[in-house]
Structure 1
Amino acid sequence: MAKIGVELALQNVKQALQEKGHQVVDLRNESDFKQCDCCVITGLDSNVMGMQETLTKSSIIEASGMSAEEVCQEVENRIS
């Protein structure tokens, strides 16, 4: 089973993913990103300075403007 990391501000997404049977963890620090197969972020902390530092090789989904159901569908597409 894939492990999905979700930012703390996206509790509705976390709940929707759990209802679909996914293993979901809160993203609190760098080590949380590294242990996940897919991460869902708000996109609020956008890269203002244009610097790129990769914390994980897993798939990242920016949930900005998406419903919880749309995020769930995107997660399932990426992990399958």
Structure 2
Amino acid sequence: MRKIAVEEGLTGLSAWLREQGYMVVNPDHGEEVIATIVTGLDQNFMNMQDISTTGTVINASGMVPSQILSRLKELD
């Protein structure tokens, strides 16, 4: 199963991506993932020194779920 990290607060997106076959984890856990989905590359995210991102960061701001899914499929 493809593992992705989804920023807290994107609960609906997390549930939908699970339905699409993705294992969704919290980015705070530092697990190896193919992508991390965030709502924006704000200063708070960029200064999280205890979080390591192993995959692509996808900024979900302004995107609909199908667009995010398309980006994820490009990584497969």
Query: Runs in 1 of length 4+ with deviation above 4 angstroms?
Result: none
Three-state SS of the structure 2 residue aligned to 1:36 is coil
**Preserved CA contact (<8 Å) 2:38 2:60:** yes
> What's the CA shift string for 1:30-74, capped at 9, x where partnerless?
xx244222110111x5138x97x7822311101000012211111
Structure 2 length normalisation: TM-score?
Answer: 0.75
5+ residue gaps, structure 2, are: none
Structure 1 length normalisation: TM-score?
Answer: 0.72
5+ residue gaps, structure 1, are: none
**RMSD between superposed Cα atoms in Å:** 2.4
Aligned length: 73
Letter in 1 for 2:67: E
Percent identity, aligned pairs only?
26
Larger radius of gyration: 1
